[in-house]
Chain A
Amino acid sequence: MKKNTMTKIITLTLAAVMALGLAGCGGGNSASEGGDITVISREEGSGTRDAFVELTGVMADDIDRTVDTAEISNSTSVVTQSVVGNEAAIGYISMGSMTEDVKALKIEGAEATTENVKNGTYALQRPFNIVTKGELDELPQDFIDFIMSSDGQAIVEEEGYIAVGEGAASYESKGLTGTITLAGSTSVSPVMEVLADEYKKVNEGVTVEIQQTGSGAGIQSTIEGVCDIGMASRALEDDELSQGVESLEIALDGISVIVNNANPVEDITMEQIMQIFIGEIISWTELQ
């Protein structure tokens, strides 16, 4: 009998594989057929998620009501790729990270463009902040001056975000040397890296270290004095402000609500976004 055990195990597993394959055979699922919505969200604590749930009203009474069955992705690129691969998906990403592969929905009739963020008609927008504690050293202050100068703000615009400091003066190098450490939001980091590269071109003796740790961790590091400048893709909370940090808005970013290119839906209201993300609307047909 013992000799047969191995063959039995093999036969059983093979049968199980087949059964699994057969059992799973179901129909496809797409928005045009009125399929169920696949909700894609970010992990808890992501600056984009914090801003999104607050702006849309998914967060009520300090409780994040995002539906349990929402897929959770831990980066912008995974959200985009998931929406590309799934006709019934809806997700949200930073406007600066938009690609042609997905479609951004109009919100309350306003298209997701930088102009609409600037004039306020596109409501899903958030500030990019830098966070500092107390009196800064000369070098970090010079870097902040560079970011807020007309040169720095031009870079912000080039990267697809919305500049805030209009009519600022241009930047002049003071020839400082040393190291600046930044930590925080993964959404702010891409534009900060470009800013740092440009800053290093005009200040050759300077090293800029950027750590992508997430908004919350970045603010915490600034409070603890581990980094010179923190980066946050949301407004600071009261208990953070009470620990002696100050924030400065360096740019505005819209949050694009994205769907698959094959999705017929074009327009959506804030109310509907909220209902989708808390699980009250579960089918695309309910939107049409």
Chain B
Amino acid sequence: MRSHSERVMKAVFLLTACVSIIAVILICVFLFASGIPAIKEIGLTDFLFGMSWKPGQGMYGIFPMIVGSIYVTAGAIIIGVPIGLLCAVFMARYCPNKLYKVLKPAVDLLAGIPSIVYGFFGLMVIVPMVQQNFGGSGKSLLTSAILLGIMILPTIINVSESNIRAVPEHYYEGSLALGATRERSIFKAVLPAAKMGILAGIILGIGRAIGETMAVVMVCGNQAVMPAGVTSGVRTLTANIVLEMGYASGLHRDALIATAVVLFVFILLINLSFTALKRRTD
């Protein structure tokens, strides 16, 4: 009787495990089945390196969007990583217990805020701020980078903090014993030891930034042209899909799915480098 129910449960567990795998496979099949023919029809180079996106006139070049996605993500990393990393150092090594009890839930809350709320916050607060201080219309590369920089903070802080905490205490104590100051011990002994874990956190942050849609679409301006500077608007790959998916038909729709294929490949590369990094650390 027992072995029978055990076998049943085993099957249930196997089934639930299969669901996620099947979902990934189905998404892959769907994406590539509709995306690849579209890329073929448009032409790989025309699609990836074409400079203009005018579906009404049959021009489907997503190069400005690829560049836009990379710029925005890079900007988010430049803004989010120093803040996140230093915050993690503070939380792991300096923070008094009382403050930690407030800080930790605050960071977790930051991670739980829906992206559409971030978007409205960006539109109401960051856009006018950028417009007044840096000129332009305010909806720009810089605005998106600042907003995404804030959005990836929880990922970077949480992963970095746990990795800094995982460094054996004697690294720190040994460094102190050799006469180094507290700061020196943290930045030169503890952080280098946690380097791989912190990098993993940054890669996760990149993944979140490049895939973010609803918040970015509200603050990036969505011009499908190459950005001329940090204060000019950009359109990211995700924004391109969400803006036009609602009504697109025919080749236009397939071109949007092909855009998703490109995005998928980006995410795949990011995840692969994450796994590779993890293997190296282990």
Contacts and interface: CB of A to CB of B under 8 A. Distances in A.
A85 B123 contact: yes
Nearest to A4: B188
Contacts of B81: 13
Contacts of A68: 52, 223-225
Contacts of B142: 20, 24
B243 A86 contact: no
Contacts of B187: 6-7, 10
A20 B195 CA distance: 26
Interface string B160-200: 00000000000000000000000000011101100100000
Contact of A13 (B55, B82, B223): B82
B224 A43 contact: no
A17 interface: yes
A85 B128 contact: yes
A23 interface: yes
A181 interface: no
Given A20-B78, A82-B123, A86-B137, A44 B249 contact: no
A38 interface: yes
Nearest to B221: A71
Interface string B128-167: 1001111111110010000000000000000000000000
A25 B192 contact: no
Given A7-B187, A20-B142, A213-B247, A25 B78 contact: no
B33 interface: no
Nearest to A219: B247
| B-side interface size class | 35 or more
Interface string B82-103: 1001100000000000000000
A24 B134 contact: yes
A173 B124 CA distance: 46
Interface stretch (A73-81, A139-147, A162-170): A73-81
B137 A38 contact: yes
Interface string A79-111: 001100110110000000000000000000000
B135 A72 contact: no
Nearest to B248: A45
Contacts of B20: none
B57 interface: yes
B62 interface: no
A2 B138 contact: no
B244 A24 contact: no
Contacts of B230: 20, 23-24
A12 to B, nearest CB: 10
B243 A63 contact: no
Contacts of A121: none
B105 interface: no
A262 to B, nearest CB: 13
Contacts of B233: 69, 71
Interface stretch (A26-34, A202-210, A267-275): A26-34
A29 B136 contact: yes
Given A38-B137, A71-B223, A85 B79 contact: no
A3 interface: yes
B48 interface: no
A68 B52 CA distance: 9
B85 A10 contact: yes
Contacts of B127: 82, 85-86
A283 interface: no
B136 to A, nearest CB: 7
Contacts of B137: 29, 38, 71, 82, 86, 88-89
Contacts of B224: 68, 72
Contact of B244 (A23, A43, A64): A43
B218 A78 contact: yes
B222 interface: yes
A248 interface: no
A16 interface: yes
B244 A28 contact: no
Interface in B197-242: 217-218, 221-225, 230-233, 235, 242
Interface of A: 2-7, 10, 13-14, 16-17, 20, 23-29, 38, 43-46, 62-64, 68-74, 78, 81-82, 85-86, 88-89, 213-217, 220
24 contacts: A3-B192, A6-B191, A7-B188, A10-B82, A10-B187, A13-B78, A16-B78, A24-B133, A24-B142, A24-B231, A26-B136, A29-B131, A38-B137, A45-B247, A68-B224, A71-B137, A71-B223, A72-B224, A74-B217, A78-B123, A78-B218, A82-B127, A85-B128, A86-B128
Interface of B: 52, 55-57, 75, 78-79, 81-82, 85-86, 123-124, 127-128, 131-139, 142, 187-189, 191-192, 195, 217-218, 221-225, 230-233, 235, 242-244, 246-249
Q: Which 5 A-B pairs have the closest CB atoms?
A: A26-B135, A72-B222, A45-B247, A214-B247, A24-B134
Given A3-B188, A45-B246, A68-B223, 11 more contacts: A10-B82, A10-B86, A20-B75, A24-B231, A43-B244, A46-B247, A68-B225, A69-B223, A71-B221, A71-B223, A215-B247
